[in-house]
Amino acid sequence: MNEKPTSITAVQEFIQSAPGTVWLRGGGSKPALSTPANGATALELGGLSGILEYEPAEYTFTALAGTAVADVIAALAENGQYLPFDPLLAEAGATLGGTVAANTAGSGRFRYGGVRDFILGVRFVDGRGQLVRGGGKVVKNSAGFDLPKFFVGSLGRYGVLVELTFKVFPRPQAFQTVRAAYPDLAAALGATFRLAQTSLEMDAVDLLPQEGRCALLLRVGGLAAVLPERAARLRQFLQAEAGAGETAVLAEDDDAQLWQAANRLAWAPPSAAVVKIPLAPKQAPALDARLGSWARRYTCAANVAWVAAADTAVLHQTLCDLGLVGLQLTGQAADPILGQRRGASLARRVKQALDPNAVLGMEV
């Protein structure tokens, strides 16, 4: 029996003879998800690593699931391409499989969509050790059920991801960031609502409440020659609005550092548990009012909240009250899903089809 397999066959053999519950771990960058529950056996997938196919002209690549996101980013960058959903915690060692299973896209997902919008194909080992394929290796495909999308957010409970195919895009030549300061979250949110009805294209829209104020960070990417003009237009739009405080266009180095820091969750105190909360932007103020002094950041124009919770039990109650759901990424968790889940009965039925003996992860 091998707990750190280096081949797909070895993963199948491990699952087929699994002694009990199996917990999956990639790079360990999200400990709340990868630390095994009591009595569970850890299956390390970091040994299942490597890019198998990458033809830049196809805008696709296929890699083993344990491949480090950072390695993929480097290989793509050599050809002027990138993963537009901005996989989170790349520097901390996140793997492709872990990024899909946890559904962790970063701030950059605003422009072209999240993990679900770039995954094309999947091979996984189901709860009986069978190797199953879904989707394909071409950018457009509607044959069969869309299992690749289903596995986004699957948390290692429905199958062991072993091979993944993604769509990629040409990387914007350059980026610039416009920063504006607002008196509070509601005011910053109001600016994003008005921006939503313009044709201005942004790569990231983050809202960062801090010390009684709220920063709005707008990142623009594209051809270098017109970038200053586009950033200036964006800044002008904000300045023309009531309530906008100081606005600035960041220097190039500051821009890069700012978004790298966001990708490694540098805004969150190391001792806190970072929780991802998808929400409608208009739900953000009600959530924010309940968070006290905890650090938080809103990405994707406040369609996702990230909260550094000092007490996850309190946050769980808050989310239940507001009808929201959250996923704990860091810290320790008995159950990383907080708040109110939707569609659980449907998920349970799929679990029955893919892992009838409940070998993988926790109950769903």
Partner 1 sequence: MAPDPFFKALSQLYPPERLLTQAVQLMAYESDALTAFRARPTAVVLPTTQQEVIDTVRLCHAHGVPFVARGSGTSLSGGSLPVENGIVIALNRLNRILKLDPEQRTAVVEPGVVNLHISEAAAPYGLYYAPDPSSQSICTIGGNVAFNSGGAHCLKYGMTSNHVLGLKVVLADGEVVEFGGESAEGVGVGPDLVGLFVGSEGLFGVALEITVRLMPVVERYRTVLAAYDSLERAGDAVALVVASGLLPGAIEIMDRLAIKAAETAVHAGYPANAAALLIVELEGEAAQVEQEFQQLLPVIEASGATEVRVAQNAAERATIWKGRKGAFSSVGRLSPDYVVQDGVVPRSRLGRALAEIDRLSRAYGLDVANVFHAGDGNLHPLILYDGKQPGALEHAEALAGEILRLCIQLGGSITGEHGVGMEKRSYMPELFDAVSLETMRAIRRQLDPQEIANPGKMFPGGEAPALALHGMHPLEKAGVISRE
Stretch 277-296 residues interacting with partner 1 (CB under 8 A): 277-282
Min. distance of Cβ 126 from partner 1 in angstroms?
7
> Tokens 């946050």 correspond to what residue?
315
Residues 65-84: x where in contact with partner 1 by CB under 8 A, - otherwise, as a string: ---------------x----
Residues 88-107: x where in contact with partner 1 by CB under 8 A, - otherwise, as a string: ---------------x-x--
Q: Is 325 in the site for partner 1 (CB under 8 A)?
A: yes
Cα angle 85, 191, 259; round to 5: 35
- Please pick, from the candidates 20, 212, 225, 313, the single residue that binds partner 1 as defined by CB under 8 A: 225
Min. distance of Cβ 162 from partner 1 in angstroms?
13
Min. distance of Cβ 12 from partner 1 in angstroms?
11
Q: Which stretch binds partner 1 (CB under 8 A): 15-23, 127-135, 206-214, 265-273?
A: 127-135
DSSP 235-304: HHHHHTSTT---EEEPPHHHHHHHHHHHHTTTTS-TTSEEEEEE--GGGHHHHHTT-TT--EEEETTTTE
> Which residue's CB is nearer to partner 1, number 47 or number 129?
129
- Please pick, from the candidates 160, 238, 337, 359, the single residue that binds partner 1 as defined by CB under 8 A: 337
Q: Is 354 in the site for partner 1 (CB under 8 A)?
A: yes
DSSP 139-150: S---SS--HHHH
Q: Is 149 in the site for partner 1 (CB under 8 A)?
A: yes
Q: Is 297 in the site for partner 1 (CB under 8 A)?
A: no
Q: Is 267 in the site for partner 1 (CB under 8 A)?
A: no
- Please pick, from the candidates 33, 300, 308, 359, the single residue that binds partner 1 as defined by CB under 8 A: 300
Q: Is 142 in the site for partner 1 (CB under 8 A)?
A: yes
Q: Does residue 210 contact residue 243 with C-beta atoms inside 8 Å?
A: no
Q: Is 196 in the site for partner 1 (CB under 8 A)?
A: yes
What CA–CA distances, in Å, run from 178 to 133, 136, 278, 296? 43, 39, 24, 20
Q: Which two tokens stand for residue 104?
A: 């962790």
d(CA 295, CA 248): 23
Sheet of 247-249, strand order = 247-249, 174-182, 213-222, 204-210, 296-299, 304-309, 273-278, 325-328, 337-339
Q: What length does the chain have?
A: 364
Q: Which stretch binds partner 1 (CB under 8 A): 26-34, 66-74, 240-248, 272-280?
A: 272-280
Min. distance of Cβ 110 from partner 1 in angstroms?
8
> Which residue's CB is nearer to partner 1, number 68 or number 217?
217
Q: Which stretch binds partner 1 (CB under 8 A): 6-14, 44-52, 64-72, 137-145?
A: 137-145
Q: Is 187 in the site for partner 1 (CB under 8 A)?
A: no
Q: Which stretch binds partner 1 (CB under 8 A): 29-37, 275-283, 289-297, 309-317?
A: 275-283
d(CA 259, CA 110): 13
Q: Which two tokens stand for residue 182?
A: 């607002």
Q: Is 17 in the site for partner 1 (CB under 8 A)?
A: no
Q: Is 32 in the site for partner 1 (CB under 8 A)?
A: no
Q: Does residue 69 contact residue 95 with C-beta atoms inside 8 Å?
A: yes
Q: Is 112 in the site for partner 1 (CB under 8 A)?
A: yes
Phi, psi for 176 (deg, rounded to 5): -140, 150
Nearest to 7 by CA among 155, 163, 154, 157: 163
Min. distance of Cβ 281 from partner 1 in angstroms?
5
What CA–CA distances, in Å, run from 220 to 150, 173, 281? 31, 11, 21
